[in-house]
């Protein structure tokens, strides 16, 4: 059968395609249960090749070792099924993703979208891969190429605008990013990705009070039944963090960010990231690190995504757990010997950063500075956004201050004051650097 855009879906009946379309909408908004919806599509139509591919993508993008096994099984299920050339390309892209070849999967999806600019799944999965590989240029351009083929009355148009908004933000085009993000949310208030794109703009422009107002205006829309809600609550916490509202940050952490103690890596990354920022500032975390670290321990040996490793190390350092630290570093050393893209993610950025976090926890601030300085300009290579990777700069600044590297600390704090003016945190860093005794 064919959809409203003229794309063929081999092996699909009306019933199966209806469930597939529901899964696509859920993924575009980051709401509901797209896995359940796609399982319904597969149950209705076992030969529906794109249903198997869709499921594989969902699990392949989870950055969890166990989920990768599901992605591989979905790929195997899709391989023998009848498929068009477009669908065969999707199957190939899934195969690369399941085997950790993120860049190759992204390239195939790029070609699919060039030939089929209204293939919403190719655009969205490619966009997510661009995020996980830190490819800001493609976050913008993958969607920008397709945008002229879309119109406001088309299903899913909000998602295209939201993705374009995030890509523009990561490339520093803040005014257009905010405009498109707001348009997307106006069309579909439940679009959590578009909501988060506007939050990113305000984070990068140091507009904390605007950001708080944006996130608090209609939280039910972006948090209810949303699997992006923890990340969006994290964004709200960042605004309060920059303003020095520590109690509010901890309240958000204990509530919507980590109140349910999620064991999903993507959620634990946010939890680690906010606690580490507070720890850098000397805030008493209580038993929060121990609780979070307990959930990171089973993933210590995964070694499948370097960005996760760095955040797991934050928890192990915060909780003072030596054995998981060693396990994680051993897994990274093994990962660097691999042939997948994570070998490079780990070698270039993840391993030195993880060692730097460990050194910071041991009070070896000179070593932290030594390890972080060479990776700052290439940190995008291991994924995440500018806002997420800011924790690297924060760690470097704090280490330089504590190590008494006067000139470096003053240089770094001046740099931050320019990038993030008019915030209590930037001002605090500047005062601390200025108060360091001259030699």
pLDDT digits (tens, 9 = 90+) for 338-348: 999 999 999 99
Mean pLDDT of the chain: 97
Q: Compute the average pLDDT of residues 291-305.
A: 97
Contact 395, 280 (CB under 8 A): yes
DSSP assigned state of 265? H
Beta partners for residue 226, in sequence order: 31
Dihedrals phi, psi of 226, to nearest 5 degrees: -110, 135
Question: What are 2's two structure tokens?
Answer: 């064919």
The three state secondary structure string of 155-171 is CCHHHHHHHHHHHHHHC
Fold classification of 1-142 (topology level)? 1.25.40
The per-residue pLDDT for 439 is 67
pLDDT at 438: 82
Angle at 44 between CA 43 and CA 45, to 5 degrees: 95
Q: Residue 151 and residue 323: Cα distance in Å, rounded?
A: 54
Contact 364, 355 (CB under 8 A): no
Strand partners for 2 = 8
Total-model pTM:
0.96
- Report the b/e string of 52-78 with b at 16+ CB within 10 A: bbbbbbbbbbbbbbebbebbbebbebb
Q: Provide mean pLDDT across the span 14-18.
A: 97
What are the tens digits of pLDDT across the range 273-286?
999 999 999 999 99
Is residue 11's pLDDT more than 80? yes
Which runs of consecutive H residues, i.e. helices, occur in 9-64?
14-29, 34-44, 49-60
Q: Residues 305-328: what's their mean pLDDT?
A: 98
On whether the CB atoms of residues 12 and 20 are closer than 8 A, the answer is yes
Contact (Cβ atoms closer than 8 angstroms) between residue 132 and residue 101: no
The torsion of the CA quartet 52, 56, 58, 59, rounded to 10 degrees, works out to: 140
Sign of the CA dihedral with 379 first, then 385, 387, and 388 last: negative
Condensed to tens digits (0 to 9), the pLDDT of residues 228-259 reads: 999 999 999 999 999 999 999 999 999 999 99
DSSP 147: G
Question: What are the residues whose beta carbons fall under 8 Å from the beta carbon of 373, sequence distance 6 or more?
Answer: 396
Taking only the tens place, the pLDDT of each residue in 143-188 is: 999 999 999 999 999 999 999 999 999 999 999 999 999 999 999 9
Alpha carbon distance 411, 430 (integer Å): 9
The pLDDT score that the predictor gives to residue 126 is 98
Ordered alpha helix ranges (H), 171-262:
174-187, 192-204, 208-217, 219-223, 229-242, 246-252
Tokens coding 351: 């391993």
């Amino acid at each position: 059968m064919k959809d409203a855009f003229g794309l063929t879906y081999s092996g699909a009946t009306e019933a199966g395609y209806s469930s597939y379309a529901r899964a696509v909408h859920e993924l575009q908004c980051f709401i509901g249960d797209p896995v359940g919806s796609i399982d319904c599509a597969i149950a209705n139509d076992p030969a529906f090749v794109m249903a198997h591919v869709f499921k594989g993508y969902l699990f392949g993008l989870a950055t969890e070792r166990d989920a990768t096994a599901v992605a591989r099984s979905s790929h195997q299920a899709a391989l023998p099924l009848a498929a068009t050339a477009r669908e065969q390309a999707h199957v190939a892209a899934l195969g690369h993703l399941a085997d950790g070849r993120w860049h190759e999967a992204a390239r195939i999806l790029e070609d699919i979208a060039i030939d089929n600019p209204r293939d919403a799944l190719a655009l969205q999965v490619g966009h997510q891969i661009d995020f996980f590989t830190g490819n800001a240029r493609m976050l913008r351009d993958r969607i920008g190429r397709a945008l002229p083929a879309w119109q406001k009355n088309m299903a899913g148009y909000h998602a295209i605008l939201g993705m374009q908004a995030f890509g523009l933000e990561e490339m520093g085009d803040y005014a257009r990013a905010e405009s498109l993000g707001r348009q997307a949310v106006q069309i579909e208030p439940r679009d959590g990705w578009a909501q988060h794109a506007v939050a990113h703009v305000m984070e990068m422009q140091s507009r904390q009070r605007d950001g708080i107002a944006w996130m608090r205006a209609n939280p039910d829309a972006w948090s209810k039944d949303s699997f992006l809600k923890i990340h969006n609550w994290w964004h709200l916490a960042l605004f309060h963090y920059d303003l020095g509202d520590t109690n509010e940050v901890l309240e958000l952490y204990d509530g919507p960010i980590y109140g349910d103690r999620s064991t999903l890596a993507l959620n634990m990354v946010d939890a680690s990231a906010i606690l580490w920022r507070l720890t850098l500032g000397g805030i008493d975390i209580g038993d929060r690190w121990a609780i979070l670290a307990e959930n990171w321990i089973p993933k210590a040996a995964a070694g499948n995504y370097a960005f996760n490793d760095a955040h797991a190390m934050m928890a192990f350092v915060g909780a003072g757990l030596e054995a998981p630290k060693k396990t994680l570093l051993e897994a990274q050393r093994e990962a660097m010997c691999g042939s997948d893209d994570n070998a490079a993610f780990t070698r270039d950025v993840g391993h030195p950063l993880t060692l730097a976090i460990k050194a910071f926890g041991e009070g070896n601030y000179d070593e932290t500075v030594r390890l972080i300085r060479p990776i700052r300009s290439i940190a995008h290579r291991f994924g995440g956004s500018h806002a997420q990777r800011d924790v690297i700069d924060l760690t470097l600044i704090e280490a330089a201050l504590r190590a008494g590297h006067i000139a470096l600390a003053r240089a770094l704090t001046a740099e931050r004051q320019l990038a993030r003016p008019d915030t209590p945190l930037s001002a605090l860093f500047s005062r601390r650097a200025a108060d360091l005794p001259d030699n």
